[in-house]
Structure formats: C-alpha cells, structure tokens
Amino acid sequence: MSAQPCATDILSRATACRDGSAAAHLKFLSIFVIFFTSMLGMSSPVLLARLFQGKSLYDRAVALIKCFAAGVILSTSLVHVLPDAYSSLADCRVATRHPWRDFPFSGLVTLIGALLALAVDLVASSHVEHAQYAPVKTNEKESSSAESRIELGGGGGCHGGDSTGAVAAEGSAVTDEEMLLRLKQKMVSQVLEIGIIFHSVIIGVTMGMSQNVCTIRPLVAALAFHQIFEGMGLGGCVAQAGFSFGTMVYMCFMFSVTTPMGIVLGMAIFSLTGYDDSNPNALIMEGLLGSISSGVLIYMALVDLIAVDFFHNKLMNSNPKLKKASFLALTLGSAAMSILALWA
C-alpha cells in the first residue's frame, strides 16, 4: 500500500521539474558560462607555462602542472565517464533488450577504446621515428665525408677534427632525442583532446535534450568546475608539447566550444524530433561513446602521462623532492575531479 503513494510522489516531482521554457533559459545561460570556464581552465596552464618559460622554475612548474593534469584526466575517465557509460547501458530500458542483457558491453567497449589508443600511439610513434631516421643517416654520411676530408688534409688537423666530430655527433643525438620527445608530446596532446572532445560532446548533447530543470540547474554549476579542471588537464599537456601560439589558441578554442556546441545540438535534436534523452537508443549511443572515451582517457593518463613522467623523466628522477611534489599534484588533481562527481 505504501509503494503506490511513493510512486505517485516521484511522478508528481518529475512532472513539476519538467519545464521546457525554464530549461531553455538555463541551457542558453550554460552555453556562455561553460564556454568561459572552459577557456579559463585550458588557457591558465598554457599562459603560466609561457610566463615561466626561460626561468629556472620553468621545467619544474611544467612537470607539476602536467602531473595535476594527469590526475584530473584519470579521475575524469574512471569517476565520471565510465560510471555514466555503465549506467546508460545498465538502464532497465536497455539492459532488458538483446544483446545488451547478455554481456557487459561498457567494459568491452572501454577495452576497445584503450586498444585503439594504443594502436594510434604505436602507428604515430613508428611514423615519427621513421621520419627522424633519414636526417640522422644524412648527418652520418656528411660526418664520414668530413672525416675523410680531414684525414686527407694531414695529421695536424686529425685530432682536433675527431673531437669536433664527437661533439657534433653528441649534439645531433641530443637534438634528435629532444625532437622525438617533442613530437611524441604533441601527438599525445592531440589524441587526448580528441578523447576529451568525445566526452564533452556527450555531456553537451545530453544536457541539451534534457527538459528537467531540477537536473539542469545544479548541472550548470558542476559542469563549470568540471570544464575548468578538465581544461587544466588538457592545457598542462598542450603547454609542455611546445605547439606554436596559433595552434594553442586553436586547441583552446576547440575545447571551449565543444560542450556549448553539444548543448545547441541537443536542443536542436529535441526541437526537431522530440527525441528524449531517456530513449533507449539515446542511452545506448551515450553508453558506447562514453565507454570509448573512457578507454582512450585511461590509456592516455596511465601510459602517456603518468608512466612517462614518473619513470622516464630525467629531471624528476634526479630530484626526489620534485617527484614527491609531483605525486602530491597528481593526488590533488584526482581528488579535485573526483569530488565533482557528487554533483556531475
């Protein structure tokens, strides 16, 4: 007997919260708020890195920013994206249908996303390394011809030529290693932005289709902080990659505009088709895209950010205090993004 009044109360609250006009006003406000906070979040580490560039603290500041970024991205994937994807595919309107009831597809698609990120990483790394071998071989041929010319020139210049050639070879090796590292960082930043953009589009479209004012109102504030922290994560990686100023502005703009564009797209879809965000097909699409995004972000955070910094960063390995501070930054980034899961 008590279940019926409870169900009636839930239905009446859902009806009271469903206000299309008020929801539209909130969504238009959220477009500008989220764009501004996204731009603020991503541009902050980029501007800080440029401010510190050339100073003694530059490398340490970038390392700390990047570790904070890695914590934000790892928390985004495990605490925000993956649970949302799982809940979408586990919804009773989806989980009772074939084949969604037969297999945990959210975990499978997350695995596929991680493997796809690995495949892209391997192909891009192989391409970058192959592109770098040709200049090295050319330098070796030039060095050999230079040595033969020195030997023909007489014994007096031979010793001096050997030392100069050794220094030049060492400088060339260092330069090629730095170029490979910089190209790798650029590739990581670009793939990472693609994964985050997938996530941002899903958030925007879902919010744009929703007509529930009680859900949208707290979501606007939560998403504002969400975009600030996620933008700081991506901005920290972009700052270290060494892109040109124009490319960084373009990447900041693309990140900032993605969620507002998703909101507009969701509003257009609802206006043209009346397509509800609780529709089973919408839940399936949201769950699959979220799972792929989660797999990509997990791989990028663990392999290309955390593992590289804590195990292959010469500056961090030679400075125990910096390594402890970096771990603290990683923990703070993870904690800050995880706390936001209380609201969004």
Report yes or no: 24 and 216 within 8 Å, Cβ to Cβ.
no
201-220 mean pLDDT:
76
Q: Does pTM top 0.85 for this prediction?
A: no
75-88 mean pLDDT:
85
Q: pLDDT for 304-321, tens place per residue?
A: 788 888 887 777 888 889
- CA angle at residue 56 from 53 to 60, to 5 degrees? 80
223, amino acid identity: L
pLDDT at 208 over 50: yes
Band (pLDDT 50/70/90 cuts) for residue 149 is: very low
- How many CB atoms sit inside 10 A of residue 27's CB? 23
Q: In terms of Cα–Cα distance, which of 240, 328, 193 is closest to 63?
A: 240
pLDDT computed for residue 127 by the predictor: 67
pLDDT at 4 over 70: no
pLDDT at 254 over 70: yes
Instruction: Give the range with max mean pLDDT: 95-104, 146-155, 194-203.
Output: 95-104
Joined tokens for residue 168: 């030049």
Give the largest CA-CA distance in the chain: 107
As a whole number of angstroms, the distance between CA 106 and CA 75 comes to 17
pLDDT at 327 over 90: yes
List the chain domain ranges: 36-131+174-340
